[in-house]
C-alpha cells in the first residue's frame, strides 16, 4: 500500500474546509429551522390532501362545513396540522374551510386548481367555515396567507391592502 501524496492530502483538507464553510453558517443562524409561514404552508397542504382523501372515500363528496376538521382527522397523522403555527392560544386553530364546497361533489367544479378549499382565517374556532371571506389582511405570515386548493396544491397569497 502506498502513502498518500501531499497534493491528495491538500485536496481532502480543501473539501473538508469547504463543507465546514457551508454547514457551519447554516446551523449557526438557525436557517435549518422552518419558519412559521413554511409550517403553515405544510399544514395547509396536509389538510387539503386529507380533505381530498376524505372525498375519495365518500363518493367524491367533500365534508360538511360544520364538521370538516373532525371528518378529516382520521386522514391525518397529527392533530397539530389544524393549528396555525402563529396561533399561540390553546383551543384556537386559524384555518377555515370554504363553505361553498360543503357536501359538494368534487367533479362539480370546473377548475379545481382555482377553487379555494382551505385557508388562513381570522375565525379561530374549530371547524371554522365561510365563503372565503375571513382571510387575515395583512396575512399572518409576512403579509401573506396560505391557501389550499381543490386540486391539492397550496400557495401563499398577499391581499391588496385595505385603506
**Which residue from 159, 157, 160 is spatially nearest to 44, judged by alpha carbons?**
157
Q: pTM of the full predicted structure? A: 0.77
User: What is the per-residue pLDDT for 14?
Assistant: 76
Residue that is written with C-alpha cell 403555527 in the block:
85
Q: Compute the average pLDDT of residues 156-162.
A: 82
Query: What is the three-class DSSP state of 91?
Result: coil
**Which residue from 112, 93, 91 is spatially nearest to 44, judged by alpha carbons?**
93
**Which residue from 91, 89, 94, 81 is spatially nearest to 123, judged by alpha carbons?**
94
144: confidence class by pLDDT, cuts 50, 70, 90: very high
Over the chain, what is the mean pLDDT?
87
What whole-number distance in Å separates Cα of residue 162 and Cα of residue 143? 12
**Which residue from 25, 35, 62 is spatially nearest to 47, judged by alpha carbons?**
62
User: What is the per-residue pLDDT for 31?
Assistant: 46
Tell me the per-residue pLDDT of 2-31, one tens digit each, with 9 for 90 and over.
Answer: 777 777 777 777 787 766 666 665 544 444
Say if residue 41's pLDDT is above 60. Answer: yes
More reliable by pLDDT, 33 or 1? 1
Tell me the per-residue pLDDT of 49-71, one tens digit each, with 9 for 90 and over.
Answer: 999 999 999 999 999 999 999 99
Amino acid at each position: 500500500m502506498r502513502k498518500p501524496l501531499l497534493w491528495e492530502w491538500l485536496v481532502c483538507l480543501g473539501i473538508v474546509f469547504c463543507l465546514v464553510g457551508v454547514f457551519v453558517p447554516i446551523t449557526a443562524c438557525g436557517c435549518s429551522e422552518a419558519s412559521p409561514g413554511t409550517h403553515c404552508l405544510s399544514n395547509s397542504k396536509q389538510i387539503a390532501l386529507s380533505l381530498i382523501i376524505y372525498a375519495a372515500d365518500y363518493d367524491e363528496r367533500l365534508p360538511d362545513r360544520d364538521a370538516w376538521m373532525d371528518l378529516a382527522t382520521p386522514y391525518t397523522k397529527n392533530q397539530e396540522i389544524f393549528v396555525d403555527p402563529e396561533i399561540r392560544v390553546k383551543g384556537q386553530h386559524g384555518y377555515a374551510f370554504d363553505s361553498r364546497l360543503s357536501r359538494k361533489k368534487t367533479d362539480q367544479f370546473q377548475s379545481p386548481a382555482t377553487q379555494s378549499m382551505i385557508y388562513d382565517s381570522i375565525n379561530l374556532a374549530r371547524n371554522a367555515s365561510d365563503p372565503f371571506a375571513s382571510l387575515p389582511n395583512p396575512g399572518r405570515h409576512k403579509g401573506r396567507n396560505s391557501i389550499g386548493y381543490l386540486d391539492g396544491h397550496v400557495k401563499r397569497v398577499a391581499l391588496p391592502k385595505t385603506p
